[in-house]
Structure 1
Amino acid sequence: MTKLHILVVEDEENIALNIADYFEPKGHVLDFAINGEQGLEMALAHPYDVVLLDVMLPKMDGFTVCDTIRRKSTRQVPILMLTARDTADEKISGFHAGADDYLTKPFSLGELEVRCIALSRRHLLNIDHVLDLGDLKIDRSAQKIWREGKEITLKKIGYDIMDLLIAAHPKTVSRSEIIQKIWSDDPTESDALRSHIYQLRTALDKPFSTPIIKTVHGVGFALDISEKNKRKNS
């Protein structure tokens, strides 16, 4: 079953609680924001699978949040807007702001989940299978990675961690997010993550002149792609 990391930007507590009560027992991980400014900050800071965004919010309305995410985010995160008004003008405004889908309150929680899963899958299909990032290249369909043209042999978990770091670049991916994404069905200890990061560095950093995996102390990990490498591959 598809398990998603979802940001819910909703100021009505009962709606947020109903979504949590339905989604979390199914294994989805939810973060919550209660106003537009907080939602925008969280959406830009973390690589969510889907953002559920209410239209009427304190401090910043959903249209402005959506438009700002589209302008400032380095990732094309799917956004599903929630509205209490089923009017054509409001839906048009949402789509113009960059929303991918719309759902009118009150809604079926089952339908909401199905739409979130569909948006996430559609988003993955639209991602280029082969990505170039500095001297790093990843083929997502074949699950292969190269650095400076040399293929790097990684175990499945190592590849999955690198896929997360590449998708989030230049942002940092927190330790807790990596653990949730990789081991959601069977949470692991931080020592296991430390071991896999060590193996990644042995394969991706040690054979080369400059390291590419950066520890952001107290937060998590990121890719350190030098400007020189970016220019070389542009």
Structure 2
Amino acid sequence: MTAPGLRVLIVEDNLALRSQLAGLLEAQGHRVDFAADGRTGLALALADPPDVMVLDLGLPGLEGLRVCERLRLEADRHVPVLMLTARDAVEDKVRGFEAGADDYLVKPFAGAELLARCLALARRHRVGEPVRLRVGGLAIDRRTHAVTRDGQPVELPNIPYQLLLALAEAWPRTLTRSELVQKVWGEEAPQSDPLRSHLYVLRQALDRPFPTPMLRTVHGVGFKLEPDA
């Protein structure tokens, strides 16, 4: 475990599970804050953003999907959210990601997996980084999912947006096809080629209205962004 530890906010109404998670995280040197309902969890996350939020879906006061949506709208930086829930249907996971979750862990879970996912989220989202990301003339607001290029709005569906965000966060590095699939779909990747149609939509929105393409194919390697400014 790397030092210093993470500060993790657990929003979970089950007292026994909160205690279990606290012991697990604190044993590895992480600091833990708690909320037993959605409204309190949202207020804590906005007042003092944690490194990672572990968020249950079935919460009193304000359920988990709404907490995540409001966090994305109101926070001044990106707070990585790991949704923790007994709902394991693909449709539930899709709703979670559409609400702004970064990862999804189904109960019951192994403690080692939860620890690994929290650490991976903190690394992936560069804890404490401002909510606005820039690559040349491209600007991405992680809070609202608003994208502009040279000041012009770029309208994107969810999956092309997630692909663009992954490429922007990795810039100037090239991401392989398998890295893109993992970042967007995790372990739930479709069986057929999931990238082709979504990359086409991304190119049409990001590059077609402009004289210079930003999304580049690195043959034999993968894809990268090439800033135009």
State the TM-score, normalized to the length of structure 2.
Answer: 0.54
1:81 aligns with 2:80: no
- Note the 1:30-49 alignment, pairs <5 A: 30-49=32-51
With over 3 angstroms needed to count, the CA separation of the structure-2 counterparts of 1:125 and 1:62, relative to structure 1, is closer
Displacement of 1:125 after TM fit?
A: 8.3
Whose Rg is larger? Answer: 1
What CA distance in whole angstroms lies between the structure 1 residues aligned with 2:45 and 2:127?
21
User: 2:116 maps to what in 1?
Assistant: 114
C-alpha offsets along residues 152-177 of structure 1, whole Å, 9 cap, x if unaligned?
xxxxxxxxxxxxxxxxxxxxxxxxxx
CA distance in 1: counterparts of 2:58 and 2:121, whole angstroms: 22
> Cα deviation per residue 1:51-70 (whole Å; 9 max; x = unaligned)?
00000000110000000000
Given the alignment of the two structures, is residue 92 of structure 1 paired with residue 94 of structure 2, yes or no?
yes
Q: What is the percent sequence identity of the aligned residues?
A: 50
What is the letter of the counterpart of residue 71 of structure 1? L
Alignment check: 8 A CA contact 2:78 2:129 kept? no
Calculate the aligned-residue CA RMSD, in Å: 2.0
Task: Tell me what 2:28 maps to.
Answer: 26
| Shift, 1:38, TM fit | 0.4
Matched-pair contact (CA < 8 Å) for 2:10–2:35: yes
Q: Name stretches of at least 5 consecutive residues in structure 1 with no aligned partner.
A: 132-234
Give the 4+ runs in structure 1 shifted more than 3 A: 125-128
Q: Distance in 2 between matches of 1:125 and 1:47?
A: 10
Question: What is the CA–CA distance in structure 2 between the aligned matches of 1:30 and 1:125, rounded to whole Å?
Answer: 16
Q: Unpaired runs of 5+ in structure 2?
A: 134-229
For this pair of structures, how many residues does the alignment match? Answer: 130
1:93, 1:59 → 2: CA distance?
19
Q: Normalization by structure 1: what TM-score? A: 0.53
Q: Deviations over 1:3-46 (max 9, x none)?
A: 10000000011111111111112110000000000000001011
